[in-house]
Structure formats: structure tokens, C-alpha cells
Chains A and B, each alone.
Chain A
Amino acid sequence: MQNEQKPLLSLSQLTKIYGSLAANDLIDLNVFSGSIHAILGENGAGKSTLMKLVYGVETPDAGEIHWNGQKVNNWNPAVARRLGIGMVFQHFSLFETLSVVENIALTIEGSRPELIERIRKIGADYQLEIDPMAMVNSLSVGQRQRVEIIRCLMQDLKLLILDEPTSVLPPQHVGALFDALRKLQNDGVAILYISHKLEEIRELCDVATILRDGKVTGTVDPNQSTAQELATLMIGRSIPKIDRHDSQNKTKSEVLAIRNLSVKNLDPFGADLRNCNLNVFGGEIVGIAGVSGNGQQELGRIISGEELNSDLNPSSIEMFGQSVKGKGVIERRDLGFSFVPEERLGRGAVPSMSLRQNSLLTAFKKGMLKKGFIQSDRVAEYTDQCISEFSVKASGSSATANSLSGGNLQKFLVGRELCLQPKLLFLSQPTWGVDVGSANEIRRKLINLRDAGVAILVVSEELEELFEITDRMYVLRSGSLSPSMKTSEVTPDEIGEYMIGEKREEMDHAISV
């Protein structure tokens, strides 16, 4: 039936080139009113670039965009919005120091009381309630997403683009989002839904276009294809399963212990840490789940030693049985601690420095210095070892860090730390923005490392990842840690309840213990 209808939006041979890389290569795509159309692909497959072209944020290098059968020239966000295209960004385009209604007033005409009235009405119609007077910086990530969706709904909406909308939501809130999207679909709105999560696409969408390396590899009905078929289209081969097994040789002594840790945050938009208790033993992987912005960064900086809080109790943070209060990053590394931060460029690596120089930064105690002078051959040897052991794709050890793709740089950084043979490893979002293949390799290495007796702590937003590799899990929400849970005895839904705070009493109970 849809094929007789004229497409609302039609892209033909759309191409976008960044440097020598074709991020989008001759893309053809037809989107119909009243359909939820998935754009499926791995990180780096070109999904986000394609959406930026559709929304007019970027200009295509070749190809045409047709709207209702008419060719549109001079495509830009203003034109796109006038035609009725709205976009909900992955990293929100909201202004933190403005209120909800002020943010909306930036794009929608109308007096303030009028806008407030309309925000309330749309909130009620679509079950997207939000306080129009609230400041954006006080809103949770899920609420910010609502604001963006409401902002799109306040224009005469024909096509809504959502970029990985569920990546920021706890599982329980996904259902409400899907309900709102289905209601929009019934109202005749076309929806472009970008995701790399196969299951949710099978649940929600009626067409799926799959991208790989900037090219369309297929357009299918997701309900008629198996997850395995979709995965094959997406990565070009089937995904190797990680063989999950529980820790066998957990040690008796705590390698990392955090007790009754409370830290007041100076940044009003950050989270305070409240009475956190956590321990990691040798030979186990412990995960911290939760939506970011709930104290992950703050906790991470305290564990890494980047933030030395003088008010802490000496017993509130211990490594290898001794207090590390007041000990800086280097002193902690000397004890056998190692750390991979979530921002690869800037915190994990110096972007403009070569891989060699970047390995020197953390591994300089591995015989790389003689009386303060750099032993270049030793540095090169160490770097080459990281590159080959972790199959990093780089033009060599003298390539600069920012010339590597996200996945390869992450492999290199994890490799750099693992080659130090740490006894305690702390990773934050270890596979964020990393392609499926590399992510699997990294996870496998972590499990091997654990089996060799290393204590590993992983902070991640991806529940699937935590369920794949961890032995125990905590949930961090509003700066409080949940009780420890055995991964094999807990379900994603239970973790989700902690993420949205439905298990509040138990958390309070955990705090009072």
C-alpha cells in the first residue's frame, strides 16, 4: 500500500565526504507519512551524518533531496523546519541556563503564557508532562528529551527525526517514548528512527534501512527478518558471541574499597555523591550501571585520583588495603592502579601527539626514562607491542592519536593500560562509540584479564555490556550507589528500577546500613 503512496521525503544518490572518507555514499531513501522508518547501523556507519543532511545542518556534496515530490534547493535547518521536519538530537540542543519555555520560545512564535499553555496541552495529549518553568539544568536526561520532542510537536510536524533516543533512557521509560511515537504515527507523522539496537527496531518500526560504511546495504521489514539477518546486514558478518562465564578465582581481600563516601559537588549542575559503598576483589569484574550525569564523573575522578578531596575520611577510599586519600594519580598508578577515562581525546590521549608520546605518558616507569632522558627505542618497542597485541589499525607508532578512529584509539588506550600489567583497572564507558567488532575484542580481553586475577571496575551506560562481562553490579543514581547485585541473579528490569529510583526504599536502606 505504501508503495502506491508518494514518498514524503525522498533522497537520491546523496553523498557526503569528510576528507578522504565518504561518510554517506550514494544513499537512496524514501520515507512515507505515517510510517516509523528505522535507520540501522553501527557507530560510524554514517547514520548521524545522514540525519544532519536531512535536517540541513550539513550540506551534501552530491545528490538530491525531494520533499513531497518537489526538489528542494538550499536545504538548511530553517527550510527543513518550515517544511515540518523536527529533530531530537542525541546530544541535546537545549540551553542549560534557560528555562523550558525560554528554550521553546527560541524557535516557536507566541507570547509566554500562550507557549506555557501549549506545552501543558501537548504534555497531556502525549503523556509528555513537563514543568514549563523549570530550568533545563535541573532536568534529567529523559526530561530533556521530552522538551526536545515537545518543541518539535509545537510546529506543524510532518517528519520527526530521532537520533538514538533510547540510549539515554532507563528501560522503563522506553515504553512511554514508544507510546508517544506510535500516537504520532497514527496522526500521520513520518518518523525516522536512528538506532543500533536491533530489538527495539523490531518492536517499533515498520521499515528499516541498514547502513554500513556509509552505504545502504538493505531495506527490509524488521518484523520479517531475524535479529541475526539484520546484524549481518549491519556489520557484514555475524557477531561472535562472547562466552560468558563467572569468575573462578575471586580473591579474599578487597583490592578497591569505598566506604561511606560523600562528596558535595561544587558545580551546581553536577551530582553530589551520597554515602557510596563499593568494593572490588581481585579476579572479578564489577560494573556500575546508570544514566550518565548521576555522579559517574564525580565518582570516577575520586577513584582515579584526579580529584583529591581533603575532607574525605582516610578509610573512605582504599586500594590494596591502604588508604589512598591524598594520593595523586601517579602515586596510585605506582600501587598498580590503571585507568581508562571515557573521553578518549583530551583525557585519555593528547590528540596531537603521536601514539609513542601517548604511551610514554602513562608507561614512563617501564624503563622508558634514563636519568630523565627518553629512551626512544624502548618507547617505540612498547608502543608497537600495544599496537600489535590489540590489533590497532594505525599507520604506525608515530601516527597522531587524533588520526585514529574512535574504536582503534580506544583499543590502543586499553592496550596501553593493560600492557602496564595493572592489578586494579578502572574503565569508564570502555566501548562507547566503538564498532561492534572492536567492542567485542575489548570485552574479551577484559575477561581474560579478570581470569588472570586482576580487579576490574567498569562504569557503563550500556546495560547489555555490563550483563555480558560483569560478575557483580551496582547502580549509581543521583549520587547514591545501590547495594551490590550478582549479575547472574538479576534482570535488566531490576537494574532499570534502580536507575529510575523505583527501588528507592531499598537504596535508602542500603545507605543506613
Chain B
Amino acid sequence: MTPLEFFLSGTMSAATVFLLAALGELVAEKSGMLNLGVEGMMAISAAVGFVVTYQTGSHIFGFSIAAVAGIFVSLIFALVSITFLANQVATGLAVGILSLGVSALIGKKYESLTISAPDPIFIPGLSDIPFIGAVFFQQNIVVYCAILMSVMIAFCLNKTRLGLAIRACGENPKAAEALSYSVWKIRYGAVAFGGMMAGFAGAYASTIYTPLWADGMIAGRGWIAVALVVFGTWKTSRIFLGAYLFGMVTLGELVVQSLGFAVPSQFLTAMPFVITIVVLAIISADMSRLRLHAPYSLGETYDGSESR
């Protein structure tokens, strides 16, 4: 594998973590729920996914239980913020911080242990094409699943009644309720979906991308996923591109280090966050774009009754 092939194929792999988590957050935010606990949900799922895979040797089992853990955490968030009407930002942060702590506890005995990642899929013919095969067709199945998910979510949000209902809830929950949609159910569902996707992202990070457990291994990638949703102005295609861009930046960090450039590693580690801040500032300056795509009632508690 040439360095360029390594760089590009690594980009796809790194991007998948961002993509999975950001897609889940997109669906939650489209329904009006701002869940800031993505980092925590990913951490818990990463720990659970690693432990289960380590114990059973089954990646499928690890992924499934990690998804359940993600859903479980997201439902705590949903319970507090939807049913008990707590502020979404505060709840998301609290649940996120709690989950980070719990992830350390779950993974305590497994600190620095490693497992073997499953072999990438080898597609006869395609994978043998020089360069292209090495970059695109020797990836783990999850990478392809994530791409497929992007297409499905874009289709669902824009072309199906379910998607319309989710967007309606995020736009104007009162009106959605008046049309006899259950805002309660839709938001619970969307948040749980976000939890499941964060679960996949966490499990992918700890069992496939870097198959080891270390406390704090999510290292801010959950926050980047949240930022990616704004970055992509709530459009699936842009979120997809953003995830790949950040995947590239992450890989760039490794490449620059391995090539021995005299750049401090802290600087490179900070790059994705710096880029996020710059891009968010640029996007926010263009109000019209935000207003056209941002869910209008994002982050607002909906108490189900008309205030009068």
C-alpha cells in the first residue's frame, strides 16, 4: 500500500465514526431534539462494544449490545427532556458527562487490552483494481453500511411521510400535534435512533477503527459529530462531505507526524476543532442558509398543551 492509498483508505475509515454519529444526531435534531450527549453515548457504547466483543469474540454481538447501550442512554435523555420537560441543553450535557464517567467504570478492567479487528471485505474484481481497489474496496462492511445509511436517511427525511412528520415536529410541534401527530412518540423515536447510531459509532471506534479500549478514547469525536450537523446545515449530503473532510483532517494528523514534519502534535490534534469553529462562524454569518434548513423549534421544550 502506498502512502497515498493508506491516507485515502484511512480517511474513509476515520470518517465513518463521524458519519454514523452525525447521521443519528441529524435525525434527532430534525425532530427538534438537541442531544448534546453524543460524546457520552459514544463512550459508553465504545466501552460496552469492546467488552462484549472481547468476551464473546463476536463483533456482531458487540455492535448490537453497543447499540442497545446507546439507545438506553438516549432514552434517559429523552425521559428527562421530553417527559419531564427539562432543558435539553442542560440534560444533554448532564447525561453526556454521566455517561463518560460510566464508560470509564465499565472499561476499567479492560484498559489497554486489544482485540483483532474483523477482516475487511474483499470484493473479487473490484478490490483488485490498482489504487481504486485499495482505497475504496478493501474496507470494513460498516464503512459501506454508513454510506448506505446516509442515502437511506436522506431519502426518508425528504421523500417519505415519516420524514415529513419528523421535520414537522422540529419545525412547529404545536402544529404537528394539531394534525394529530404524536410529537411525543416521534421525538422519542428520533432520539432513540440517534442513540443507536451513536452506539454504532462508538462500537466502530473501539472494535474496528482502533480495536482497543482506553479511557477517553472517543476524544471529542462526539462533539465534532454534533458540530457536523450544523456544519452541514442539517442536509444529509453536506454532513456526509463534512464527515469525510474531518476524516481526512484526522488522517492528515497521522501522516504529518509519520513523515516527521516539525509541527507540534497538539496543534494537529486541535485542527479539527479549529476548523469546526471557523466553519461554524462562517455558516452562522449567513442567516438565510441557517433559517432555511435549521429545525425552527430545535432545542425548545414542548409541553404538549397550548400555553394560554
Contact = CB atoms under 8 A, between A and B. Distances in A.
**Are chains A and B native binding partners rather than an unrelated pairing?**
yes
Interface string B287-299: 1100111001000
Interface string A263-294: 00011110000000000000000000000000
Interface in A44-89: 49, 52, 55, 57-58, 76-78, 81, 87, 89
A98 B168 CA distance: 8
Given A77-B179, A106-B161, A267-B288, A98 B167 contact: yes
Interface in A254-269: 266-269
B259 interface: no
Interface in B257-308: 287-288, 291-293, 296, 305-306, 308
B167 A97 contact: yes
B292 A106 contact: no
A106 B293 contact: no
B255 interface: no
| Residue in B167, B178, B287 with the greatest tally of chain A CB atoms within 10 Å | B178
Given A97-B296, A102-B164, A77 B171 contact: no
Nearest to A48: B308
Interface residues on A, range: 20 to 34
B56 interface: no
Contacts of B291: 267-269
Chain A residues touching B, majority SS: loop
B114 interface: no
B172 interface: yes
B175 A57 contact: no
A76 B292 CA distance: 32
Given A95-B171, A268-B291, A106 B306 contact: no
Interface string B76-111: 000000000000000000000000000000000000
A500 B296 CA distance: 29
Interface string A96-132: 1110001001110000000000000000000000000
A94 interface: yes
B174 interface: yes
Contacts of A97: 167, 171, 292-293, 296
Contact of B175 (A76, A81, A95): A95
Contact of B288 (A49, A55, A98, A268): A268
A105 B164 contact: yes
A76 B304 CA distance: 13
A77 B174 CA distance: 12
A373 interface: no
B55 interface: no
Contacts of A107: 179-180
B233 to A, nearest CB: 12
Nearest to B182: A78
A98 B161 CA distance: 12
B178 A105 contact: no
Contacts of A266: 287-288
B181 interface: yes
Nearest to A78: B180
A267 B294 CA distance: 13
Given A18-B308, A93-B174, A266-B287, A77 B180 contact: yes
B165 interface: yes
Interface of A: 18, 23, 49, 52, 55, 57-58, 76-78, 81, 87, 89, 92-98, 102, 105-107, 266-269
Given A55-B178, A96-B172, A268-B287, 15 more contacts: A23-B308, A57-B306, A58-B305, A78-B180, A92-B175, A93-B174, A95-B168, A95-B171, A97-B296, A106-B161, A106-B165, A106-B168, A106-B176, A266-B287, A269-B291
18 contacts: A18-B308, A58-B306, A76-B180, A77-B179, A78-B180, A87-B178, A93-B172, A95-B172, A95-B175, A96-B171, A97-B293, A98-B164, A98-B168, A105-B161, A106-B176, A266-B288, A267-B287, A267-B291
